[in-house]
Amino acid sequence: MGGNKKKRSPMKVFGVIVLVLTLLTGGLSAATVVVMRMMFGRGDYTDPALDVYNRYDPDWKDIHPREEVRFTSGKNTLTGFIYGMENEEPRGLLVFAHGIGTGHESYINQLMWFVERGWRVFTYDATGSGHSEGDGTVGLVQSALDLDKALTYAESDERLSGLDVYLLGHSWGGYAVSAVQNFDHDIKASAEISGYAYPQEMLDAGAVMTMHTKAAVIFHPFAWGYNKLVFGEYAGLNAVDGINKSGIPNLLIHGDKDDYVPYEKVGIISKGKEFTNPNVQYYTITGEYADHNKFFNSDACNEYKKPFNDRKAELMKQCKGDELNEKLAELASGMDKEIVNDPNTDLLEKIEAFYLGV
């Protein structure tokens, strides 16, 4: 029985296995490139008519002037802004790094709070964001590379150089203000909010959250390869090494209900055992609004916005295109912008007190 069946050569079997694995690997690698480019697309500002939050123009333009500057990061020209030039004896230079998917004007109310307290503020829209060049935001390491170039620019500008430098960043920018401490800049202190410590760890966590399964870890080697290919020697740039290298005071702030940059697994604040820098301070935000970013605004603002957020979510499911935009504009026009843009002054005062206390 089966006496005439030919035996397969071990080398042929091995060759088939290699071919299958190669095809699978090639497919996953190609898929990784597509996914990464989708994830790190441009972070443009939304149409002001559809938004309830303040922008510099028209909400602050006539109150606080700003000066526009340009500097290069990689192959792109980034647009930076100097606020608070009217403060002739500023408390210091606050350099701000924004989160991914937007630009610095999404934080304009918080930045103007510092200006009105006597600070000079230097900020910018990162690669592929807002007013700056770039087809996309590239990846999780990019924010630190952009901040390095921004600080280099600030050191060369007589309007900014000579002032004590304090860093502030959120999310993508929270990682940036910590990881940039791997470079040689004279920084007085740094406060990060909702930042991730290790880009690769954040990528892995993001894949699991997006696919809703731990099986997403299969993409780890492909994401690692993409990150290495794109960022080369900086692929491993991380917040922990930066904080330890600089030795400067660092305030780590994170909401304990953050499910975007998970508080306990990915957040910089969770890496306490890895810090050798004795000047690290921690502040955990708790309460109903202790997620990734709601705490930037007052509790009164967040309470007021609940019906708005619920209705917006319904419209996003029910409508598309021009109909959606028309309904969102109508919804936004009915909101009290003064309440919507009320910042969390308790948080801002805590950050300022940290800066002034170092």
pLDDT in tens, 111-139: 999 999 999 999 999 999 999 999 999 99
Q: Inform me whether the pLDDT recorded for 1 exceeds 50.
A: no
pLDDT at 331: 95
- ∠ CA 118-121-125, nearest 5°, is 160
Tokens of 237: 């740039």
Provide the residue count of the chain.
358
Phi then psi dihedrals of residue 142, to 5 deg: -55, -35
pLDDT-above-70 percentage for the chain: 89
Q: Which residues contact 206 (CB under 8 A, 6 or more apart)?
A: 39
Task: Give the integer Cα–Cα distance in Å for 262 and 255.
Answer: 9
C-alpha closest to that of 143 among 197, 113, 109, 179: 179
Q: Inform me whether the pLDDT recorded for 28 exceeds 50.
A: no
Q: Which residues contact 338 (CB under 8 A, 6 or more apart)?
A: none
Banded pLDDT at 219 (limits 50, 70, 90): confident
Q: Across residues 3-10, what is the average pLDDT?
A: 47
Output the average pLDDT for the chain: 91
Per-residue model confidence as pLDDT tens digits over 39-86: 899 999 999 888 899 999 999 999 999 999 999 999 999 999 999 999
The dihedral over CA atoms of 240, 245, 248, 249, expressed in degrees to the nearest 10, equals 20
